Every structure is written in C-alpha cells, then in structure tokens.
Amino acid sequence: MSSLNITPLSSALGAQISGVDISQPLTLEHRDAIEQALLKYQVLFFRNQPIEPSQQARFAAYFGDLHIHPIYPNVPEQPEVLILDTAVTDVRDNAIWHTDVTFLPTPAMGAVLSAKLLPEFGGDTLWASGIAAYEVLSAPLKGLLEGLTATHDFTRSFPLERYGNTPEALAQWEEARRKNPPLSHPVIRTHPVSGRRSLFVNEGFTSKINELSETESEAILKFLFAHATRPEFTIRWRWQQDDIAFWDNRVTQHYAVDDYRPARRVMQRATVLGDVPFFR
C-alpha cells in the first residue's frame, strides 16, 4: 500500500496529498499512486514542497515528455520550466478560464505549478472539472455535442497587439504563430486512460464550433463556457509559499484570479505533453 495520505476536497474534483517529498526522486509506488489519484481527483495539491526547477522538471517528467512554451519566459538552465512573473510578463490571460496549450496537436496531459512568490492576499487559482460538467448535460445535448469539433487558436490568448510590441517579441510571436496554426479538437473528449468523457472547449483558445453557423457556434460556446465553470464543478485553492498543484489538463480548466495588483506573484510551471484528443 502507498504511504501517501489523500484528502478529497470536493465532490467534483481536488485532493490534497501528503506523505511524499517531491524534491526527491519518486519511488515507483509513489509515482503510480499519484497517477491514480490524478485520474480520480483531477487536480492534486501538495503543501510545503520547496523545489528547484530541475526537481520540478524531474517530477513532471515521471508522467510524460515536457513542453517548452513558445511565448512565456523560462528558467534558462531548465527551459521546460516556464516563469509566470507579474513583474515581467503580462499574465492577464491566466485570469480567464482556460485549458493549457490546446492550440497544440497534442495538448498538455497535465501541468505542475509551484508557488514561488505570493502576494499578501489574493492570487487564488480555481479549477473546473470538464467531466462533472459533461455528465449533467441532457441526453439530447450530449448527442449534439458528441458529433462536433471546435477550432483552437493560439492568438486568442496571445494576440499580436500585446505580444509583438518589440522587434524581438514580434519575431518570437511570428515564429510561434507559424508553428501553431489554428487546429481542431473534439468538443467532447474521451480520457485516454479512464475512458470518461469531458467537455473540451475553453474560452482561452476555442474560437468556434466548426460544424455550426457563426451564430449557432457563438450561442453554444457561450453556454458551454458558462456551464463548464458553474461553482459546483469547481474548486478554489488558496496558495501558500511552496505549494504545488498538479492537474489533469485533459479534463479540467483553470482560472488564476487577478485580484492582487500591484503586488507581485511568481509561479513556475512544468507542462507535460499529452496525446491527440479523441472521442469515442
């Protein structure tokens, strides 16, 4: 039996984990127990886990290959770990419900976020379960959505007017745009491990439902964005120094509350690549 202590935090998603030191290499037992907890609870929280970027990347790499973000700055000696520092980068697009990097053909399986510098108050993060949101939909609406695909566009959260204001930034943005053209994913996604179904559209990157008219797409997406983030499908985490969150990006959205300005907030994230979304 695993020595991990797992405390569920809500009926929709979320659990707090203790009994493991993430700064150290994981045993196979702990690695498997964390993966099973992630499948069940969708987002996991670990208190009091001071880690270096190399340790964070090592922990994340137990669960898959790591992504290097095309826009956000990263730790120079550990480029798989990006830096979300409000004193350096405009991170207002984290204050919108989004699923990370769904503009990729293989969006993130998950992400490991570490709290490095926190404001005196504010700066919580919320997560929402796409599984919980999907399961309460009516059968007729499920039937409609299960046959649809949606376009995900990098520029919705990284618009040129905010990320191309210097020659260097413009060159970086143009390269990222070239490598990440708009692409399509199913509106309802089947989890590749658990087999559970989840909503897979998000306000941060989803621009339209492909099979519908513009008016129909706008109406359906407006409903789905609001429905997916109803309070009963969410959990809110109040960060403490050196907390770590690890979430299943395949079936969740999150929102970093921007309520602490002008205080500074610094987080570091390692992103684990996933697979091509599918529905069955």
Residues that are catalytic: 98, 100, 254, 269
HEC readout, the chain = CCCCEEEECCCCCCEEEECCCCCCCCCHHHHHHHHHHHHHHCEEEECCCCCCHHHHHHHHHCCCCEECCCCCCEECCEEEEEEEECCCCCCHHHCCCECCCCCCCCCEEEEEEEEEECCCCCCCEEEEEHHHHHHCCCHHHHHHHCCCEEEECHHHCCCHHHHCCCHHHHHHHHHHHHHCCCEEEECEEECCCCCCEEECCCCCCEEEECCCCHHHHHHHHHHHHHHHCCHHHEEEECCCCCCEEEEECCCEEEEECCCCCCCCCEEEEEEEECCCCCCC
**Residue 72 class from Cβ within 10 Å (0-12 exposed, 13-18 middle, 19+ buried)?**
middle
Tell me the HSE value of 200 on the side-chain side, using a 13 A CA sphere.
32
